[in-house]
Amino acid sequence: MKIELSAIILAGGESSRMGTDKALLLIEGVPMLKKLSLLAGNLTANVYIITSWPEHYQSILPQGCQLILEKKSTPRSNGPLMGFAQAIGFIESEWVLLLACDLPRLTLEVLTEGYQSLPSKGNHLPDKSQNIMAYLPRNNDRWEPLCGFYHRSCFSSVLDYLETGQRSFQGWLNSLPVQEWIISDPSVLFNCNTPEDFQNYSC
């Protein structure tokens, strides 16, 4: 049976290190946020963009993408975990694909492989004790939380975690049963955060 999927793309950062809105940087002539939206749209019709500036992106997004206004608790960015938590209230599917907006090397092939290898509902970690709540790549001893899949059973957990005042994605994930998503070419997870990153990608 086909697994139900939605997608959330985070576009709430201030791009302070880039010096300009990285979501609008052109990747092969296409704004980076639009590129990610198109990729996600190949897997699901339910694509959500959470951002504090929906007016910046309305005109560039593919038809059908839904914008969610991120509510900030302070003048500065809430951080990715808060953005995720605000967006999950719109999700009704079994799984959600979470993406940052600054992944210029990400491909449909990689996302499709991840989607097709998703643990189905009821699957367990090897010790058989807990249902899998997230399916994520790993970089050494840290999870890569902004390109991965989350089961809806984790939604109450993230809200409870944020209620404690903590905001660390890694801290929250370390409390969850997470299965590693093995990606053969980890370079597709390259984040474009600075002008140097963008120049290196363009070379």
Domain boundaries, the chain: 5-202
Of 108, 88, 87, 98, give the one whose Cα is nearest residue 43: 108
Give 28's pLDDT tier (boundaries 50, 70, 90): confident
CA–CA distance, 92 with 113 (Å, rounded to integer):
22
Pair 90, 23: CB distance under 8 Å: no
Tell me the C-alpha to C-alpha distance, in Å, between residue 68 and each of 49, 50, 117: 6, 5, 29
Please state, in angstroms and rounded to a whole number, the distance separating the CA atoms of residues 134 and 121.
12
pLDDT of res. 127:
47
User: Bigger pLDDT: 146 or 78?
Assistant: 146
pLDDT over 90 (residue 18): no
Residue that wins the pLDDT comparison between 90 and 75? 90
> Span 129-149, mean pLDDT?
90
**Chain-centre distance for alpha carbon 3:** 18
Better pLDDT: 61 or 123: 61
pLDDT confidence tier of residue 171, bands split at 50, 70 and 90:
very high
For residue 203, the model assigns a pLDDT of 44
| Fold of the domain built from segment(s) 5-202 | Spore Coat Polysaccharide Biosynthesis Protein SpsA; Chain A (3.90.550)
